[in-house]
């Protein structure tokens, strides 16, 4: 019999695709998810897309009794349940830390104190824990890891990072796992907690554990009406409502967009390869793309005629560039991203066209401005 897997947050975007892949490979799957209204709507109904061949537990990660029951007879844990909005985490601090850091603490506390059969754990970490990515100064000829840009610089709308030694503009280079961490939001701090708590627990109790630093995952099923996370989904929701995507800074900030099928493939390798044990891996495409370019390609594919709206504003804690160095996961686990960006985006657009989305992006942006978190 194939092992039994518990996927917390398994009704969400990444989790539901992971569940499909696990079922296809013969694993027996139990999903633990509270169907958070911000992601699943006020009705909090089990999403249509969720695989039917699973056991479903509707409960909050902080309900210790329910979680204890759900961990019974489980061999493998994928911990994905989390509150996932970066900006929102800066004014709903108690909720974010309670669900993310507190939720992980409850899960690990159960495993530390009660008999269990867990043989492997994989935790969803995030590229957000890096803060700014890695950079190179071609004049000083060295790799540098800058902190956040100063407010004075951002107020002057000088968006690019400069070398602290020679003041020339730095070039973004792929970010390796050993870059010093510099989380710039409560969300990112809680993801670092996830990673460190799980790896520490795994080493202490001899349970092989892996942390995956997902970059910007895109694909079908990402909640379109959730304005707090997922840039491709947020732009899609704007366009579906005939509104231009709203873009902070000048649009030339870049990210690493990785298709959800590739993120799932990496997650399965982390599960099935022993070489992954006790390791941390970047999960990205290894390529950078400007946010404005994403908006333009999406607009084009969705047949939207208007230009994106460049806000020339900035959000507290935002970084300029970060994209993954994927040589570690490539060499140790044999991971190669397979979905080309154009192809992945066409698939996303096909799905988006069949959806309805409530556009709450303007409200969320105004909320940030009102709280002094964007200007
Ligand atoms: N999507 C990305 O680009 C990305 C990037 C980096 C890291 N991650 C991480 O991957 C994981 C999955 O992200 P996603 O994009 O699928 O998000 P998602 O919001 O689609 O899924 C998260 C799921 O967790 C559930 N959940 C939230 N709070 C819960 C609670 N208190 N108790 C139980 N369940 C709860 C939600 O109902 C949802 O189904 C998260 O841990 C996230 O931090 C995602």
* Arithmetic mean of pLDDT, 300-319: 93
Pocket test for ligand 1, best of 6, 11, 13 (most atoms within 8 A of CB): 13
Q: Which atom of ligand 1 is nearest to the CA of 79?
A: 41
**Predicted confidence band at 358 (pLDDT cuts at 50, 70, 90)?**
confident
The helix-helix angle for 103-113 and 186-205 (nearest 10°) equals 10
What is the Å distance from ligand 1's center to 289 Cα? 23
Q: Which listed residue (96, 130, 135, 187) is catalytic?
A: 187
User: 35 alpha carbon to ligand 1 midpoint, in Å?
Assistant: 10
Give the Å distance between the CA of 124 and the centre of ligand 1: 9
State how far the alpha carbon of 303 is from the alpha carbons of 167, 349, 358, in Å. Answer: 42, 10, 19
Q: In whole angstroms, what is the distance from residue 337 CA to residue 284 CA?
A: 8
Please give the number of the atom of ligand 1 that sits closest to the Cα of 33.
34
**Across 363-372, average pLDDT:** 89
Task: Answer whether residue 228 shows pLDDT above 90.
Answer: no
Between 61-70, 258-267, 275-284, 366-375, the lowest mean confidence (pLDDT) is in: 366-375
Let me know if residue 57 belongs to a domain: yes
Total Cβ atoms within 10 A of residue 70? 22
Identify which of 21, 49, 80 to mutate to test ligand 1's pocket (most ligand atoms within 8 A of the CB). 80
Quick check: is 375 in a domain?
Answer: no
Q: Coil, strand, or helix at residue 330?
A: helix
Q: Is the Cβ atom of 13 under 6 angstroms away from ligand 1?
A: yes
Beta strands in the chain (DSSP E): 4-8, 28-33, 55-58, 76-79, 120-126, 134-137, 142-144, 171-173, 209-214, 216-218, 246-247, 254-255, 257-259, 280-283, 289-290, 309-310
Residue pointed to by tokens 């830390």: 97
| DSSP code of residue 102 | I
**pLDDT of 324 higher than 90:** yes
Ligand 1, atom nearest to 100 Cα: 31
Give the CATH number for residue 8: 3.40.50.720
Q: Are 231 and 299 in contact (CB under 8 A)?
A: no
Which ligand 1 atom minimizes the distance to the CA of 217?
3
Spatial separation of the C-alpha atoms in residues 28 and 266, rounded to whole Å: 19
How far apart are the C-alpha atoms of 242 and 113, rounded to whole Å? 53
**pLDDT value of residue 356:** 84
What's the gap in Å between 59 CA and the centre of ligand 1? 14
Active site residue 187: yes
Cβ(217) – ligand 1 distance below 6 Å: yes
CA of 46 to the centre of ligand 1 (A): 15
Mutate to test the pocket of ligand 1, among 6, 30, 32, 36 (most ligand atoms within 8 A of CB): 36
> Does residue 140 surpass a pLDDT of 90?
yes
Answer whether residue 108 shows pLDDT above 90. yes
Average pLDDT over residues 281-308: 96
The overall average pLDDT reported for the chain is: 96
Q: Which domain holds residue 113?
A: 4-370
Q: What is the mean pLDDT of residues 192-208?
A: 98
Residue 60 Cβ inside 6 Å of ligand 1? The answer reads: yes
Q: Indicate whether 206 belongs to any domain.
A: yes
Pocket lining: 214 vs ligand 1, CB cutoff 6 Å: yes
| Distance of CA 82 from the midpoint of ligand 1 (Å) | 5
**Quick one: 15 exposed, middle or buried, by C-beta within 10 A (0-12, 13-18, 19+)?**
buried
Residue 80 in contact with ligand 1 by CB distance below 6 A = yes
- The pTM assigned to this predicted structure is 0.97
User: What was the pLDDT predicted at 361?
Assistant: 86
pLDDT of residue 225: 83
pLDDT above 90 for 262: yes
Q: How many domains does the chain have?
A: 1
What is the percentage of the chain residues whose pLDDT exceeds 70? 100
Whether residue 141 lies inside any domain: the answer is yes
The average pLDDT across 93-121 equals 98
Q: Is 59 helix (H, G, I), strand (E, B) or coil?
A: coil
């Amino acid at each position: 019999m194939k092992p039994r897997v518990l996927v917390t947050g398994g009704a969400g975007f990444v989790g539901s695709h992971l569940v499909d892949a696990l079922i296809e490979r013969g694993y027996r799957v139990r999903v633990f998810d509270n169907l958070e209204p911000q992601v699943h709507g006020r009705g909090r109904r089990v999403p249509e897309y969720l695989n039917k061949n699973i056991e479903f537990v509707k409960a909050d990660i902080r309900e210790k009794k329910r979680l204890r029951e759900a961990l019974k007879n489980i061999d493998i844990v994928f911990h994905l349940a989390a509150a996932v909005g970066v900006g929102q985490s800066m004014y709903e601090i108690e909720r974010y830390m309670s669900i993310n850091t507190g939720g992980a603490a409850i899960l690990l506390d159960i495993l530390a104190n009660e008999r269990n059969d867990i043989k492997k754990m994989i935790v969803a970490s995030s590229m957000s824990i890096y803060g700014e990515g890695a950079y190179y100064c071609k004049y000083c000829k060295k790799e540098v890891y800058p902190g956040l840009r100063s407010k004075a610089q951002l107020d002057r709308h000088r968006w690019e990072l400069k070398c602290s030694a020679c003041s020339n503009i730095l070039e973004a280079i792929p970010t390796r796992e050993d870059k010093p961490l510099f989380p710039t939001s409560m969300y990112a701090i809680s993801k670092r907690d996830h990673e460190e708590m799980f790896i520490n627990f795994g080493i202490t109790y001899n349970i092989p554990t892996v942390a995956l630093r997902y970059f910007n995952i895109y694909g079908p099923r990402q909640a379109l009406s959730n304005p707090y996370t997922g840039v491709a989904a947020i732009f899609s929701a704007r366009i579906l409502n005939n509104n231009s995507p709203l873009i902070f800074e000048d649009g030339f900030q870049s990210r690493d967009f990785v298709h959800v099928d590739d993120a799932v493939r990496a997650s399965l390798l982390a599960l099935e390869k022993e070489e992954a044990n006790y390791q941390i891996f970047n999960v990205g495409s290894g390529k950078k793309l400007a946010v404005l370019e994403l908006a333009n390609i999406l607009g084009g594919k969705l047949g939207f005629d208007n230009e994106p709206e460049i806000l020339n504003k900035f959000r507290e804690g935002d970084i300029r560039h970060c994209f993954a160095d994927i040589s570690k996961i490539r060499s140790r686990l044999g991971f190669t991203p397979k979905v080309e960006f154009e192809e992945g985006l066409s698939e996303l657009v096909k799905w988006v066209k069949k959806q309805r989305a409530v556009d709450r992006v303007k409200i969320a942006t105004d909320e940030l401005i009102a709280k002094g978190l964007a200007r």
